[in-house]
Amino acid sequence: MTALTDHVPDKHIHPAAPRKSLGTTAWENLPQALVKLDPRHLVRQPVIFVVWVGSVLTTVLSVLDSSVFSVLITLWLWATLIFANLAEAIAEGRGKAQAASLRQTRVDTAARRLLADGSEEQISGQDLKVGDRVVVEAGQVIPGDGDVVEGVATVDESAITGESAPVIRESGGDRSAVTGGTTVLSDRIVVQITSKPGESFIDKMIALVEGAARQKTPNEVALSILLTVLTIIFLLAVMALQPMAIYSGDRLHLVVLVALLVCLIPTTIGALLSAIGIAGMDRLVQRNVLAMSGRAVEAAGDVSTLLLDKTGTITFGNRQAADVLPVAGVDRTELLRAAYLSSLADETPEGRSIVDYALAQGFTADITSTPELLRTGAEFVPFTAQTRMSGVDLPDGSRVRKGAGSAVAAWVHAEAGHMAHDVDEAVDTVSRAGGTPLVVAVQDVGMPPRQLGVIFLKDVVKPGMRERFDQLREMGIRTVMITGDNPLTAASIAAEAGVDDYLAEATPEDKMRLIKAEQQGGRLVAMAGDGTNDAPALAQADVGVAMNTGTSAAKEAGNMVDLDSDPTKLIDIVGIGKQLLITRGALTTFSIANDVAKYFAIIPAMFVGIFPGLAALNVMGLSSPKSAMLAAVIFNALIIVALIPLSLRGVAYRPLSATAMLRRNLLVYGLGGLIAPFVGIKVIDLLVSLLPGMA
């Protein structure tokens, strides 16, 4: 993993799905935009459905009483509908292209299922059930999603992530999950299947990127309700104009009333709203992050507390044993032996590094392998997040433990009733150096437990992290580092990285309590995790980002999956979520300001014949009422096309305070929304006034 000092470059789920120019994409998606003219589709978008009803009405009126004005108004109303559908079709089209490339990775693979007696049988991958164990060797395709329960291998995941570099998948730890359809390049592994046929990770990815699983987010629903209410209000207002006109001695043509209604209602944001949401999820997909729902993307934009695991996120994560510090009266060889034995059952990278370090220091175990220990009756105590210790109970009755200082101290105290050796000074020395201390203790037969010394695990903070956290602070986001290290080590790393707070010696229960406490204060919480012990916290967090390399339980619990398994990407996910909210807000601001400007073009033109005094409001100096109406309708359609690239790309996000962001939006999109119609409608009016029948 590398530290991110800027946004992650855009990547694609599959290299066979390159980006095309907007013009090419628009032409390719035009047929789909025409299909979306079906009223059964448009009825789900009330604003656009009103435009469709108006277009049908003006079409009938143009046939019954044809004129250049009515025909042109009708054609541009239909163009407005097509442009509105085109924005959504382009956004969906990108997902369909990615889904098509993913479907190419799905093959019916033969599986070597392990039977209870240790023998194998060949079956189709479609016949596998949850809990089955399969053998996969070099050159073979993994038949289904699962966790590696035996062995270690390099795996080609380019079909999923687009990355050609192979990755390591191994039993134990948090890098055990494998995805069906990927290929083992070396060695042999045993995989326990965790998903049913048809419900694999690739199947879920296809549904998500294709848009089939997308639902409107709460903010999107709220904005849709607001737009619907505004549409109803303007509909009632337009319906009231005809009686007023008749009372004043004139009658307005129905085509004019429809044109007025379409220009008054918020058609711009109504047309782009769906595309903005789809494009937000698409931007995550470009960065190899799958959002299980639009709600998660939206929540990322409102996150106020960010929980980050220390190992692999803030630090490089490859903690390695660098030294051992024996206490007074303990021989270094004795400490190395105990460290070696207590780490044999520890499948974490740290545990394995301790075994390697002990052997590299010249220690030769009297019993050197795990199988030999098991044959002699030894019982291993594996490391867990709850006990934070690992060790072994030897056949002679002696016991060896290694783990966090407080956990080992509690074990020693519970067994002996007093502290055999004080290792606080050694623990503090390692902690102040920014390392992770692991205390080693042993209990000989008939003797109380005694602490032998401390193992020094060394880790390094990733470069650029302080700058990233400074950016988050400017955005109003509080960062909390979560670690299983003791408070001194946690404080040292937190100060070096520049986080706002830290949680030391964290258990899964501690993470849950912290998340709930933040949420009770009205804050939205985001966190990243990869282990089974992270699953409860991922499920509780408002934005839970599971690593693709993590366990199946973690991926099921989170509402996002990072295919690159880069926890620092959580910072970019927050930026993308904020960009989605800013884009929606900016275009809504532009749309409303845009509509206000159109009122000055249309209303004076409509009623100047009845109330000549309204001519003073014709500040644009438009040629005639008909040309003014047609120019406004044309501008209303073209502005949708002009804003499609912005809705798909998103408004550029900068880490600003809410006040500064609002000020910027009002100046750029509010003021721009007022000025653009004055310029655009005037230019179009000069052109359409040359047409016959526009006087």
Which DSSP string corresponds to 552-572? HHHHHH-SEEETT--TTHHHH
Give residues with Cβ within 8 angstroms of 392, minimum separation 6: 341, 342, 344, 345, 373, 378, 379, 380, 381, 399, 400
Same domain, 418 and 532: no
Note whether residue 199 is domain-resident: no
Same domain, 308 and 357: no
Note whether residue 353 is domain-resident: yes
Total domains, the chain: 4
CB 163 within 8 A of CB 8: no
Same domain, 674 and 596: yes
- Is this structure's pTM higher than 0.85? no
CB 573 within 8 A of CB 274: no
Tokens linked to 179 = 């995805």
Q: What pLDDT, in 10s, does the model give residues 106-149? A: 556 778 888 888 888 888 877 888 888 999 988 888 888 888 88
Cα–Cα nearest to 155, from 168, 173, 142: 168
Q: What does the pLDDT read at residue 364?
A: 64
Domain boundary among 531, 563, 595: 563
Same domain, 43 and 63: yes
Same domain, 633 and 509: no
Residue positions forming the annotated binding site: 346, 350, 383-390, 402, 530, 534
Same domain, 481 and 526: yes
Residue 302 has phi, psi (to 5 degrees) of: -105, 5
Residues forming the active site: 309
CATH code where residue 557 lies = 3.40.50.1000
Q: CA torsion 5→165→577→302, rounded to 10°?
A: -70
Same domain, 455 and 467: no
Residue positions forming the annotated binding site for Mg(2+): 530, 534
Same domain, 511 and 431: no
CATH code where residue 117 lies = 2.70.150.10
Domain carrying residue 340: 318-459
Same domain, 334 and 404: yes
Note whether residue 7 is domain-resident: no
| Alpha-carbon separation of residue 484 from 401, 489, 542 (angstroms) | 17, 10, 23
Residue positions forming the annotated binding site for ATP: 346, 350, 383-390, 402
Note whether residue 4 is domain-resident: no
Note whether residue 15 is domain-resident: no
Tokens linked to 522 = 């009205």
Alpha helix segments (H runs only) across 344-420: 349-360, 370-375, 405-416
Same domain, 447 and 338: yes
Contacts 24+ apart (CB under 8 A), 648-652: 648/22, 648/87, 648/90, 648/91, 648/275, 648/279, 648/282, 649/279, 650/279, 650/280, 650/283, 650/579, 650/580, 650/582, 650/583, 651/579, 651/582, 651/583, 651/586, 651/587, 652/579
Note whether residue 104 is domain-resident: no
Other beta carbons within 10 Å of 577: 26
Q: What is the DSSP letter of 367?
A: S
CATH code where residue 337 lies = 3.40.1110.10
CB 90 within 8 A of CB 25: yes
Note whether residue 205 is domain-resident: no
Domain boundary among 194, 228, 262: 194
Instruction: Quote the CA–CA distance of 379 and 373 in Å, as a whole number.
Output: 8
Domain boundary among 394, 425, 459: 459
Residues of the chain with pLDDT under 50: 1-18, 212-213, 367, 417-420
Same domain, 455 and 469: no
Q: What does the pLDDT read at residue 80?
A: 93
Same domain, 372 and 269: no
Instruction: Quote the CA–CA distance of 256 and 300 in Å, as a whole number.
Output: 44
Q: What does the pLDDT read at residue 337?
A: 87
Note whether residue 103 is domain-resident: no
